């Protein structure tokens, strides 16, 4: 070994600076190969006895050697491997596979390198260039590997438990984010991400469909419920949506007490469609103030200013604002600490994942809807993005939100602010239970109170 060290040091002193790294890496591969040969020889001795002095009572005997290969530093290297056979043949199996050789043949690191290269290159043809045309990096081989791994990732995402984490610890879900993303014409993915009470973000599932319709949204939410997704105890679930009526209906069908928060990024983007560009900066400033507002009173003031700003400019924009209603400030009504607004007032968690996914899938010219291509790509991209997830920013402030959801702070705030709400917001405030007797005829028509109660029970 000392002679080998001297040889490599001598070689390093004789080569050009740019070749030093290559010489050193070649030396390391040679050392690794020698160690592997020694390990295999030791395993053969344990099975068959010492060389030239075989154990006649051993169950195995040496049977020469044969050309083989192993993976080292994500490269395939040829080696001569020793062969071992059983003395007594059982189950038509004569040769014994060495554990050390089998471990050295593990292709997981090579597969990981090829997949990383594919995600970076975005093209089957370019993977070979990224990994210096290593064996197994041809377009057809990478394509087969991608299909295999993609199906494994899809199965992992679709079937892994939702109500417990990887350690088997139960999860207490606090919030659900759902957003629809258009992948191509007639291909939409509805993606769901959950947030636990400890601030952990988890990719839950996705559903593919031709559009973001009720059927697609309902299929996703129904499957989540069947897999065990639910908020802890009697606490309502906080749900952040992109504004789709289909998503809202699907969520409320399974979580009727959910608190819906409209994504402010989507709403601002929609309002800009109706306004000339010269009004965009002022609109952005108002939404920025809304995102930073602390509490229901401050948020209501900004919403009233938004209403006054849009009224003389565009009726369609004003209608779009009114359509969102109290969902614009649901998080504010819960008196959520403003440190959490950055995370809970938009579906940017999902949008950022999809943006990263598009960097690798952008070279896909045609999504083959008749196959599982889109599901494989999306599952792989979402799980890859999840690996980089960190806890929610300022997650320690979630304790206040948990308490406020449990005591339904938003209802108390609405009752206190009822006189200050504009007409288009006050219409959404549900009547108190002690006011129901007076309000009943307005819901079911004229008649005696007894007949009204019968009608409601029906």
Per-residue pLDDT of 177-222, as tens digits, reads: 999 888 878 888 899 999 999 999 999 999 998 888 888 999 999 9
Task: Give residue 149's pLDDT band: very low, low, confident or very high (50, 70, 90).
Answer: confident
Q: What percent of the chain has pLDDT over 70?
A: 74
Q: Is residue 442 pLDDT above 70, yes or no?
A: no
Please tell me whether the overall predicted TM-score, pTM, comes out greater than 0.75 for this model: no
Task: State residue 94 phi and psi, 5-degree precision.
Answer: -95, -45
Whether the CA torsion 63, 67, 71, 73 is positive or negative: it is positive
**Pairwise CA distance, residues 254 & 419, whole Å:** 32
Q: What is the pLDDT of residue 280?
A: 94
Whether the per-residue pLDDT at 260 is higher than 90: the answer is yes
Q: What are the contacts of 266-271 at 24+ separation with CB within 8 A?
A: 266/242, 266/346, 266/347, 267/243, 267/320, 267/321, 267/324, 267/328, 270/243, 270/320, 271/310, 271/317, 271/320, 271/321
Residue 151: predicted pLDDT: 85
Q: Which of 27-31, 52-56, 221-225 has the lowest mean pLDDT?
A: 27-31
Question: Could you count the other beta carbons within 10 Å of the beta carbon of residue 120?
Answer: 13
Q: Which long-range contacts (CB under 8 A, 24 or more apart) does 408-415 make?
A: 408/236, 409/333, 409/334, 409/335, 410/259, 410/296, 410/330, 410/333, 410/334, 413/296, 413/333, 413/334, 413/335, 414/296, 414/326, 414/333
**Mean pLDDT of all residues in 174-178:** 93
Model confidence at 437, pLDDT cuts 50, 70, 90, reads very low
What pLDDT is attached to residue 168? 81
């Amino acid at each position: 070994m000392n002679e080998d060290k001297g040889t490599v040091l001598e070689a390093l002193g004789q080569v050009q600076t740019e070749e030093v790294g290559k010489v050193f890496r070649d030396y390391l591969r040679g050392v690794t190969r020698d160690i592997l040969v020694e390990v295999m020889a030791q395993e053969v001795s344990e099975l068959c006895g010492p060389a030239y002095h075989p154990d006649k009572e051993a169950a195995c005997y040496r049977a020469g050697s044969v050309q083989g290969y192993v993976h080292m530093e994500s490269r395939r290297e040829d080696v001569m491997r020793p062969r071992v056979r059983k003395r007594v043949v059982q189950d038509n199996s004569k040769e014994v596979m060495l554990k050390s050789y089998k471990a050295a043949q593990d292709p997981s690191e090579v597969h990981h390198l090829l997949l990383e290269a594919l995600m970076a290159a975005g093209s089957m043809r370019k993977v070979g260039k990224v990994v210096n045309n290593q064996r197994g990096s041809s377009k057809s081989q990478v394509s087969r590997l991608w299909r295999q791994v993609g199906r494994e990732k899809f199965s992992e995402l679709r079937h892994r438990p939702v109500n417990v984490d990887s350690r088997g610890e139960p999860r207490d879900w606090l919030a659900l984010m759902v957003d629809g993303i258009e992948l191509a014409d007639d291909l939409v993915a509805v993606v769901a991400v959950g947030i636990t009470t400890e601030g952990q973000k988890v990719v839950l599932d996705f559903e593919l469909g031709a559009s973001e319709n009720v059927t697609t949204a309902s299929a996703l939410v129904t499957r989540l419920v069947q897999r065990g997704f639910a908020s802890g105890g009697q606490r309502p679930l906080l749900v952040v949506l992109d504004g789709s009526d289909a998503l809202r209906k699907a969520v409320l069908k399974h979580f009727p007490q959910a608190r819906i928060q409209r994504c402010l990024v989507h709403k601002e983007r929609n309002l800009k469609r109706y306004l000339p560009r010269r009004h965009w900066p002022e609109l952005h400033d108002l939404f920025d103030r809304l995102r930073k507002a602390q509490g229901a009173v401050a948020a209501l003031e900004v919403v009233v200013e938004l209403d006054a700003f849009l009224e003389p400019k565009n009726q369609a924009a004003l209608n779009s604002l009114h359509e969102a209603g109290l969902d614009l400030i649901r998080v504010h009504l819960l008196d959520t600490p403003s440190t959490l607004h950055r995370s809970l007032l938009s579906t940017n968690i999902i949008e950022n994942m999809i943006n990263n996914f598009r960097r690798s899938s952008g070279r896909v010219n045609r999504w083959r809807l008749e196959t599982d291509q889109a599901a494989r790509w999306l599952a792989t991209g979402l799980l890859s993005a999840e690996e980089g997830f960190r806890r929610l920013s300022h997650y320690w402030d979630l304790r206040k939100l948990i308490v406020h959801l449990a005591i339904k702070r938003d209802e108390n705030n609405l009752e206190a602010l009822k006189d200050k709400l504009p007409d288009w917001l006050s219409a959404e405030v549900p009547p108190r239970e002690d006011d129901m007797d007076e309000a009943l005829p307005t819901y079911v028509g004229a008649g005696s109170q007894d007949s009204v109660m019968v009608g409601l029970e029906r």
